[in-house]
Amino acid sequence: MRRGARSRLGLLAAASLALLAVPLAAEETVRIAVAQVRDQISLAGPELVVTDPAAGEVVQRGGPALVAPTDQGIAVGGRVVAATRLVAQSSGAITVRGLALEREVEVFREIRGGRPEIVIVHTVPIEAYVAATVSAEMPASFPAEALKAQAVVTRTFAIFRKFNAPERPYHMEAGVIDQVFGGTQRISESARAATVATAGEVLTFGRQPVRAYYHSCCAGHTESAREGWGQALPYLPGVKCPYDGDCPSQQYTARIPLARLARALLVTRVKIKRIASVKIADRTATGRVARIAIETDRGRIEISGEDLRRLVGYDVVKSRLFDLSIEGDVLVVTGRGSGHGVGLCQWGARGLALKQRTYDAILGHYFPRTKIMKMY
């Protein structure tokens, strides 16, 4: 079949996917970490009940419930329960940090960095998750074919994460590290329609779900997986994208005080008093920053372009496609695009849809040599 073409395979064909141990079903679910805290967090909802399933007892009836990690277990309303997992149920939505979640969440006590933390996990039917995530990740005003492409990529990302999750009580986080999940009560009608139109469809290579990365705006050319993540993937070679010209992040400027950068560099375990220069040491084939050389009073430090974004904020340095200069005691970043640049360019998908390209053609452009398989 041609690139990006749909291959409508039934359940038996889906079962043959090497990555999946069992066939997927329409009621397939994913587990989302909606909050991870080391202090107190509130759970609120009508007729809230918090239980300890292992002990078979009710911990708290009525809400809100204030939960916190302790060395001995989980504190609920000041009472410490010797448990690593609790369940909170409600007759309506459970609110966690302003996020409305359907009826039930799990409260886990995990150890990270030698310290206890609370992880709130919500289980969601995968199609509801796709609709909610498309609503959060792509504007509802985008053309229908772009939204359908996003729905397939979102579903593929979720399924890949689910069946490749490390040993932890959830498959994905609810933020930008994985996919932004805003809850199933915030679904736009256009996202819902895109999800229904592509129900069960997953992007594959060699009959396996692909690593379905995406970003907001590539500024003319997507990055290869090898340059972006250090792993060459045949379906992510990086492609030209002259379709994202309407992206509001085509141009951006960030001004970062050198003192702030010096503080951020403490993660390198070098205490810096003065930064003398910051220069780009290497770029990828698409012009994105690979390495940055920083001359300091403690010698030369090298970081990657992605390190700079992580250290000062992804909303500050929006991409790795940038130039650097110093004005006085301020580092000036002049850049283009938004996001890591690998995979689907969302604004490029919009541009292609406006040119009457269908969603399978859009996906074929950004993920060459792939096929769409209907898995349930």
Peptide bond into 368 cis (omega under 30): no
Given 94, 123, 152, the domain boundary residue is: 123
**Is the predicted pLDDT of residue 249 greater than 90, yes or no?**
no
Given 84, 108, 123, the domain boundary residue is: 123
Residue 76 CA to residue 57 CA, distance in Å, equals: 13
**Is the predicted pLDDT of residue 126 greater than 70, yes or no?**
yes
Crossing angle (nearest 10°) for helices 144-162 and 359-366? 60
pLDDT digits (tens, 9 = 90+) for 43-76: 999 999 999 999 999 999 998 999 999 999 999 9
Cβ count near 139 (within 10 Å):
14
Q: Are 182 and 331 part of one and the same domain?
A: no
Residue 274 CA to residue 237 CA, distance in Å, equals: 40
**Is the predicted pLDDT of residue 250 greater than 90, yes or no?**
no
Q: Are 137 and 228 part of one and the same domain?
A: yes
Q: Are 261 and 345 part of one and the same domain?
A: no
DSSP classification of residue 140: T
Q: How many domains does the chain have?
A: 3
pLDDT digits (tens, 9 = 90+) for 301-354: 999 999 999 999 999 999 999 999 999 999 999 999 999 999 999 999 999 999
Under a CB-based contact definition with an 8 Å cutoff, are residues 212 and 153 in contact?
Answer: yes
Residue 243 CA to residue 10 CA, distance in Å, equals: 34
pLDDT digits (tens, 9 = 90+) for 151-172: 999 999 999 999 887 778 999 9
Residue 104 CA to residue 90 CA, distance in Å, equals: 6
pLDDT digits (tens, 9 = 90+) for 87-121: 999 999 999 998 999 999 999 999 988 999 999 99
- In a domain, residue 207? The reply is yes
- Segment among 3-12, 57-66, 210-219, 324-333 with least mean pLDDT: 3-12
Q: Are 193 and 309 part of one and the same domain?
A: no
CA distances, 111 to each of 42, 162, 181, 229 (Å): 20, 21, 24, 28
pLDDT, position 11: 33
Q: Are 190 and 218 part of one and the same domain?
A: yes
Under a CB-based contact definition with an 8 Å cutoff, are residues 17 and 204 in contact?
Answer: yes
Q: Which domain holds residue 87?
A: 33-123
pLDDT, position 21: 40
pTM, rounded to two decimals: 0.88
Residue 139 CA to residue 184 CA, distance in Å, equals: 16
pLDDT, position 18: 43
- In a domain, residue 117? The reply is yes
Cβ count near 10 (within 10 Å):
11
Tokens found for residue 333: 């970043």
SS3 content of the chain, % helix, strand, coil (to 5): 25, 35, 40
Q: Are 117 and 177 part of one and the same domain?
A: no
Helices (H), 1-73: 11-15
Q: Are 81 and 205 part of one and the same domain?
A: no
pLDDT, position 25: 53
Q: Are 15 and 141 part of one and the same domain?
A: yes
- In a domain, residue 263? The reply is yes
Tokens found for residue 207: 């009959």
Strand, coil or helix: what is 363? helix
- In a domain, residue 1? The reply is no
| Cα pseudo-dihedral 270, 274, 276, 277, rounded to 10 | 50
Distance of CA 184 to the CA centre of its chain: 17
Q: Are 269 and 214 part of one and the same domain?
A: no
Residue 41 CA to residue 109 CA, distance in Å, equals: 13
